[in-house]
Structure 1
Amino acid sequence: MSFLLNTDDVEDRDRAEFVHEALGATMVPIELHWPGHRRSVAAHGTITDLGDLTVCSGRTTAQRVERTAALARDSTEPSVFVNVQLSGSSMVVQHDREAVLRPGELIMYDSTSPYTLLNDSGMTGHFFRVPHSALAMPHDMIRAACAVRLSPGHPVASLTHDYLRRLAADPALPTAVDADLVGHPSIELVRAVIATHLRADESAAAPMAVTLRTRILEYARRHLHDPGLSAEQIAAAHHISVRHLYKVLAASGIGLADWIRTRRLEACRQALADDDAAAIGAVARRHGFSDPSSFSRAFRAAYGMSPSQWRKR
């Protein structure tokens, strides 16, 4: 699904507010500072959701973009942004760091802390939003990778830059069948760049290994609706053995089957409370339970009452 950002058909006096509202609704609330007279306010671009990845590609005449301390505390889903510079240069300021981004380079900033973007010729380029939950990296790693050029010249960074640039520039992608499937591998590339950068700066030891448990659980969370979700499937998605998968989770005291069942039951309990019209069996299937009888037994064992009793209460 795409949103077209175009100020050409908006009255001059309404353009600044239009852009402010549009970006706040599709990306993240920010403050934009425009040059001179209100007639100089212009923005053109496309904002597309590809699964967990949101792509904003275009240009504005805004020379300064800020996410203030107050905005950084809002209820917007915590996310990181990755910029791909197309021409000229821009600056990102966050965490008392300043970094100048030039074509061919990548830079990241975090929505949960104040930041400023500066470009004298107007903000132009490709901007990619990734929720913290999808990135699945510890916050201290995210913070360490913000407002710095991400391993310029490194093969992983160069590959990711070129891939993201082509992804954002492809006009056919937003309407392609199953375009959402592009989101996951794109986020994996972003994660690889961050890990590469942190290794290069010796900011963390083996960051991919450190985040493996988080990534395993995030993958499982996103596939709870799949009744066939298994240790074999999860291990294959992370290119590890089933034995290693269990070892990683056991180190945190997590049993995979119990973890999956608990999250599925929590989702069903919430759904039953929110929608009293849906059939109980349909709710169970929607959240990964293929057998209504086993679902009812598991629900009673977990909450001390049947699904229908919970709904009535």
Structure 2
Amino acid sequence: MIQIVDSRTIAAGMRAESMHAVAARIIPVELDFPEPGPVVRGRLADLGGLRISSIRSNVTKVERTPILARDDLAPSLMLGLQVSGSSLVVQDGREAVVRPGDLVVYSSTSPYTLVDSEGYRQHQFRMPLERLALPRDVVRQVTATRLSPGHPVADLAAGYFRHLAGRPGAFADAGADAVSQSSMELIRAVISTHLDVTSAATKASLKATLQLRILEYVRAHLGDPSLNAARIAAEHHISRRQLYNVLAAGGISLGDWIRNQRLEGCRDDLGSGLSQHVTIASVAQRWGFRDPSSFGRLFRAEYGLSPRQWRQTATKAQPALASDPTPARL
């Protein structure tokens, strides 16, 4: 869902309160607007676990205060992509001046300040820290820091996130989770590139989250029928034997886990009213099953019903879903 933000549609006397409410949908912060008051235009969008805000505003200061940093928001990481001009980002005892194309991260769990005398001009991407699958001490090393400016990985990421912020509606709901996970993988790559990954402390921290990062990678690529152990191991710079050992330590069998995740994805899609005009074969293919017949046998063995029976049973139990393609206005 995309929500359009335009302060011109709000009565002048209510704009400041309304724009604080909009900001709270991204992350609760204090805002300083110059006279004659707020001027804000942009949009918000959710893609899986990723919340995207693309905002231009005359706000000159955005502050996550110490009190707000202790609120009930799930610990989150914000990635900022500077669009134009320059901004000052302050957090964890560091300051960074970011310019067009620069990437910077800041965390919800400690106070931060963004300052721009010409107004806020960033694309921002918020994601849960737990899904980023990096230890907090690793993240804390890169807050309020320009992330590897000029490095090919950072340049790739800047182009990717610029495109994502510019066209969030181009990604169908069915692909939102995959886009979200791929985005988090890219952020991890940028952070890892920026850090001295040869240091013992960083290597230990990354090793501690290896299993979670592997599973997040696999989850993001479940729709690819060519996904296999060799590819997964190569993506994480380990051998296949190491891959199996890491997963076995958590009681996970790779093949069984992939199959179960794919079946659960198919079951959820087939049980949704939105799937009524999609063939069962298309749903199976979306989740990485090449052969409809073998998919049907696996589904029945797991759930006791054929995919068609499950869809009929599940959709009868819920009301028809209505969709409104018109973006909501705030």
- Whether TM-score is above 0.5 comes out as yes
Distance 2:208 2:146 in 1: 22
Structure 1 residue 174, shift from structure 2 partner: 5.2
AA aligned to 2:242 is H
Structure 1 residue 125, shift from structure 2 partner: 2.1
- Aligned mate of 2:70, from 67, 73, 76: 73
- 1:107/1:149 contact within 8 Å kept: yes
Distance 2:300 2:126 in 1: 32
CA 1:219/1:196 → structure 2, altered by over 3 Å: closer, same or farther? Answer: closer
- Aligned mate of 1:244, from 235, 242, 245: 242
Instruction: Mark the runs of 5 or more structure 2 residues left unpaired by the alignment.
Output: 261-298, 305-330
Distance 1:22 1:290 in 2: 47
Matched with 2:42 is 45
Q: Per chain length, whose mean CA-contact separation is higher, i.e. which structure has more relative contact order (CA < 8 Å, sep 6+)?
A: 2
Matched with 2:151 is 154
Distance 2:117 2:216 in 1: 40
Q: Deviations over 1:143-192 (max 9, x none)?
A: 00100111111111111111111221126525676344322212111110
AA aligned to 2:251 is G
Q: How does 1:45-64 map to 2 (within 5 A)?
A: 45-64=42-61
- Aligned mate of 1:145, from 137, 142, 145: 142
Distance 2:135 2:148 in 1: 19
> Which secondary structure state, in structure 2, belongs to the residue aligned with residue 58 of structure 1?
strand
4+ runs deviating over 4 angstroms: 174-177, 200-203, 206-210, 217-220, 232-238, 288-293
Pair 1:31 & 2:27 matched: no
Query: TM (normalized to structure 1)?
Result: 0.71
Matched with 2:287 is none
Pair 1:194 & 2:194 matched: no
Distance 1:66 1:189 in 2: 27
Matched with 1:204 is 202
Structure 1 residue 3, shift from structure 2 partner: 1.5
Distance 2:106 2:215 in 1: 24
AA aligned to 2:9 is D
Could you say what the CA RMSD is over the residues aligned between the two structures, in angstroms?
3.2
- 1:195/1:208 contact within 8 Å kept: no
Distance 2:143 2:107 in 1: 7
Deviates more, 1:147-156 or 1:194-203: 194-203
> Which secondary structure state, in structure 2, belongs to the residue aligned with residue 190 of structure 1?
helix
Instruction: Mark the runs of 5 or more structure 1 residues left unpaired by the alignment.
Output: 265-287, 294-313
Matched with 2:252 is 256
Matched with 2:91 is 94
Q: Deviations over 1:209-251 (max 9, x none)?
A: 553223135567x69xx9x9xxx8677445355422232246x
Query: TM (normalized to structure 2)?
Result: 0.68
Distance 1:98 1:192 in 2: 22
Matched with 2:100 is 103
Q: Deviations over 1:93-116 (max 9, x none)?
A: 000111100112111100111100
Structure 1 residue 128, shift from structure 2 partner: 1.0
Pair 1:22 & 2:22 matched: yes
- 1:160/1:190 contact within 8 Å kept: yes
